[in-house]
Structures are given as C-alpha cells and as structure tokens.
Structure 1
Amino acid sequence: MVVTFCRMTQQEAEEIAAWHYPPPYDFYDMTADEEDYEAFIDPHRRSAHTYSAYKAGMLIGFFTIHPTSEETVDVGLGLRPDLTGKGRGASFVAAGLDFAERRCGARVFTLSVAAFNERAVEVYRRAGFKETHRFDQKTNGGTYPFIAMKKDEGGCSAVALHHFHLKADWPGGRNEVGRIESDKLKTEISIPKEMDGPDVGTNPDEMLLGAAATCYIITLAAMIERADLPLQEMDMTSEGQVDVTDGVFTYKKIIHRPRVVLKQEAGETDLKKLHRLVEKAEKTCMISRAIEGNVALELDADVTVAS
C-alpha cells in the first residue's frame, strides 16, 4: 500500500468524524464519545500532529504522531470503515510508522488499543509491538480495558531471507592469482604485497574493509534520508588494521571516518540527531553486526553544518 500523509484539514476532519464502523467496532466511531468528537472536529483543539492518509488520491484513514521524548512517538490511527477487516491494516500501520520515523526521527513507538479489539492487537504484534501493561480507560460513557503496546528499534514485523552467490577460481599455490565473480562484481584476487603476495587485483583484506565501509555509509545515508535531515554532502575514508604475529594474520580493527555536512538551514536539533545517527548506523549495519566480537569497529566522525 503506497500511502501519503498530509496535515489534516477541517474538511477532512469532518469527513472522518462522520465515519461509522460495524459493531463491535462502532466503539471507534468519533460520535461514540462526545468529548473526543468535539476535540477532533475543533481545529483549535485538534492536535497539530494529526495527518490524513491518502492512497491513489482517496482519503483512506488518519494517523496521529505525538512525540513524548526525543526518540519516542505515541501513535494513533484509523482506517476508513469499508477498508477494515480486509488484510490492509498491516501495510497501513507500516506506512504510518515509516512516516513517523521520517518526520520525527523516532526509534520507539507506543500506542494503546481497546482490549476487545483482537484484530487490531494481532496487526500491531505482527508490526513488532509488544504488550507492556493493561489499564482501564474512561471513554464512550464507560470504563473499558485497554492494552498499552510498545515497539522499539529491535521490533521486527517480517523475516525475509536473501541469497547472494559468488564463484571463486584459484589456479594453484599461495602466490597465484585467482578470480572471483558474482552478479555485480568481477575481479582478480591475490595476496597483497604487504603480506609478500603478488598484489594483483584486490584481496580479502580490502574486500572486508570495502564491505564494512559501503554498508556503513549506505546505512547512514538511509537514516539521514528517513530523518529528513538537510544533507549537503557526505564522504568517508576507512582504515583496516591487520596484525601479523608469529605468522598468524588477524584482522584487528576497522576505523570509519565519515564526514557529514548539513546545509546552513540545519539547526542544533538536526545536528544532535545526526550525531546520534552516525553512532546508530555503525550498530545497525549488517556487516558491522556480522563481524561484531571479532573485529573492533571505531568511528572518528566529522559532523558539521555548512557555513
């Protein structure tokens, strides 16, 4: 589901407030609670963080995002009545969370759901939310049990297994020149001159460094884009350190030195967020996680705002 979000207008609020759900989900009708209804249709009381959701030019729902801390956002949502119960909730939730992450740089999401609404609870669980506690909420003229749920950056809604293949040819002994070939990479390989090899093509040490560096900078770029930071330019150098003791080769450390410059319009909040993302990218990159505990990773970042 490709969904776009925009700040809710008064006309949209009035249209959504008139939606009616079939029982027992009429619990979610805006008119079921007079106070909530008045707050929703009053432009002065309605939260500025309330957004209308559109697909193919049609209003399909709404999403609210309320930052409760620098990294946490509390969300609320509603899907148009005729779209509910048709397996569309998961993609709608995913689109809303992605929007909230890009809009606020959120890493943690919270929400509350009526305990009877097992259909919604299951959607949230599949999206990576976990129950934190239960509480009673006064609404709709009574008191009802609710479930508080939370999704942190470790939450996962789906698992996919991707396969990559590589063919290697090696003609003989230690100092021969081999060749590797994959879908996008074709190169000769040999032992580097630093290790008394022929130094033809690339070598395993460079390839590990290249994998770690490209994974890191791509991960960081994606995070900067999702956080909607005003990036001006970014580049990076990386260094790999290999220890040789008694003829045993050990990859000891990889040092990334990213240089990230934000546009002049960036504020102090943007810079603080960027510092956090620079650190987070190193922990999130799959190559970093793959070599964690075997190769030390170090960051020496230069993060600035253009003058």
Structure 2
Amino acid sequence: MKNIKIQKLSQCHAEEIANEWKYEGIYKFYDATEDAEDYQELISQELRGERYFEVLSEDQLIGFFVVNDSIPKVLDYGLGMKPELTGHGNGKIFIQKTIQYILENYDVEKITLSVALFNKRAIKCYEKCGFIKEKEFTMETNGLYIALLKCIESVESYNKDSSEEQNDLFIKTL
C-alpha cells in the first residue's frame, strides 16, 4: 500500500463497496447486501453524513472506515478492506493509517471497535495494532444473533512524524 489518501466516501465508491464487494466463506457476513439497514446507510449520502471515509492507494479504492463520535472523547470505529486485499498482511498498515487520520482530525482519548468473534484474523490484527479486548456481547445483525468482541484502545500519545517501524507505538494504553 503506497501513497495512501483518505477522504470523504464518494457516492461512486459507496455503491462499489455496497454492491460489488463480496467476501468468501464465513466472511460473507461482512457483505453490505447481507444487512438491509447497513446497505441503505452505505448507499445513502444523507444517511452516511460526514462519518464515512474512503482509503485510496495509488488512487485505487482499498477500503473504507466509519466513525461515531457521539460520546465525548470516545470514537467508535468500523472498517472494511477490499475483499481481495484481506488475509494478506495488509490490515496492520491500513489500520495504522486510518487511526493516524482519526487522531489528526478528532479530539479523542479512546477508540473502540467491535468485531465478530469468529473473525480471528481481524482480532489478531487489532491486537497487533494495540487494541485490547474489553468484553464480549451478542447483538442481532444480518438477521442473526452474533457474538461480538468489543475492543478498546486509550490514546496516550502520538507522534505523527514517527517512522513506520515506530507506528506500533502510536497508540498506548493508559
């Protein structure tokens, strides 16, 4: 991933993600078409508001993320990578770049995310990026009750000039 650029999610890219991104096997759960409410939020500019962002590498769409900052100093974060890029070691740099953007643009002390318990690959990546497992919970989504894991990270310090090697340290637990 080179020349990463993050900007507001365009309608064209929202429709591509919603209609064309299809994940294999158990990861099909993450297809936007699997949940009508998620699908509508993704394709409707009005419902997306200012919360959705696209991530480009060499001007090609590689992923997106969504933020919810309704709780002061806490930002809940969701993300998705282009299906063919998952499972190949791209997650860590993707997460680091998106969190760097969040820290530069939002006043936060904690970043949270939720992940399906079956997604061991993502959980491992989140842990490598400094997230800590907080609690397990169940919620109805995609017409199913699914076990989820809530992960949390407290932001203590961040040096935006740090080298890529030091990026593992930009999120620290208080």
TM-score, length of structure 1 as denominator length: 0.49
Residue among 39, 43, 52 paired with 1:37: 39
Q: Counterparts of 1:26 and 1:120 in 2: how far apart (Å)?
A: 14
Residue among 79, 84, 91 paired with 1:89: 91
Counterpart secondary structure, 2:88? coil
Which amino acid is the alignment partner of residue 27 of structure 1? F
Q: Is 1:10 aligned to residue 14 of structure 2? A: no
Q: Counterparts of 1:119 and 1:47 in 2: how far apart (Å)?
A: 30
Contact 2:5 2:59 in 1 (8 A): no
Q: Counterparts of 1:153 and 1:43 in 2: how far apart (Å)?
A: 30
Which amino acid is the alignment partner of residue 10 of structure 2? T
Q: Measure how far apart 1:154 and its partner are.
A: 4.8
Counterpart secondary structure, 2:48? coil
Q: Which structure has the highest helix share of the two?
A: 2
Q: Counterparts of 1:107 and 1:56 in 2: how far apart (Å)?
A: 31
Which segments of 5 or more consecutive residues in structure 2 lack a partner in the other structure? 162-174
Residue among 67, 79, 82 paired with 2:81: 79
Larger displacement relative to structure 2 (62-71 or 136-145): 62-71
Which amino acid is the alignment partner of residue 41 of structure 1? I
Q: Counterparts of 1:39 and 1:65 in 2: how far apart (Å)?
A: 13
Which amino acid is the alignment partner of residue 79 of structure 1? M
Q: Counterparts of 2:149 and 2:70 in 1: how far apart (Å)?
A: 18
Q: Counterparts of 1:149 and 1:68 in 2: how far apart (Å)?
A: 17
Contact 1:101 1:107 in 2 (8 A): no
Aligned-pair Cα RMSD in Å? 1.9
Which amino acid is the alignment partner of residue 75 of structure 2? V
Matching residue of 1:145: 147
Which segments of 5 or more consecutive residues in structure 1 lack a partner in the other structure? 156-218, 226-307
Residue among 59, 63, 66 paired with 1:64: 66
Larger displacement relative to structure 2 (1-10 or 28-37): 1-10
Which amino acid is the alignment partner of residue 150 of structure 2? A
Contact 1:136 1:145 in 2 (8 A): yes
Q: Superposition pairs for residues 92-107 of structure 1, below 5 Å? A: 92-107=94-109
Query: What whole-Å deviation, never above 9, does each CA across 1:149-185 have from its counterpart, x for those lacking one?
Result: 0011259xxxxxxxxxxxxxxxxxxxxxxxxxxxxxx
Contact 1:17 1:30 in 2 (8 A): yes
Counterpart secondary structure, 1:21? coil
Matching residue of 1:136: 138
Contact 2:55 2:61 in 1 (8 A): yes
Contact 1:10 1:43 in 2 (8 A): yes
Q: Counterparts of 1:101 and 1:70 in 2: how far apart (Å)?
A: 14
Q: Counterparts of 1:66 and 1:33 in 2: how far apart (Å)?
A: 19
Matching residue of 2:124: 122
Which amino acid is the alignment partner of residue 10 of structure 1? Q
Q: Superposition pairs for residues 176-255 of structure 1, below 5 Å? A: none
Contact 2:52 2:65 in 1 (8 A): yes
Q: Counterparts of 2:82 and 2:119 in 1: how far apart (Å)?
A: 16
Q: Counterparts of 1:147 and 1:62 in 2: how far apart (Å)?
A: 20
Identity, % of aligned positions = 33
Matching residue of 2:51: 49
Which amino acid is the alignment partner of residue 5 of structure 2? T
Q: Measure how far apart 1:96 and its partner are.
A: 0.5
Query: What whole-Å deviation, never above 9, does each CA across 1:182-237 have from its counterpart, x for those lacking one?
Result: xxxxxxxxxxxxxxxxxxxxxxxxxxxxxxxxxxxxx9xx67x9xxxxxxxxxxxx
Which amino acid is the alignment partner of residue 142 of structure 2? N
Q: Superposition pairs for residues 151-166 of structure 1, below 5 Å? A: 151-154=153-156
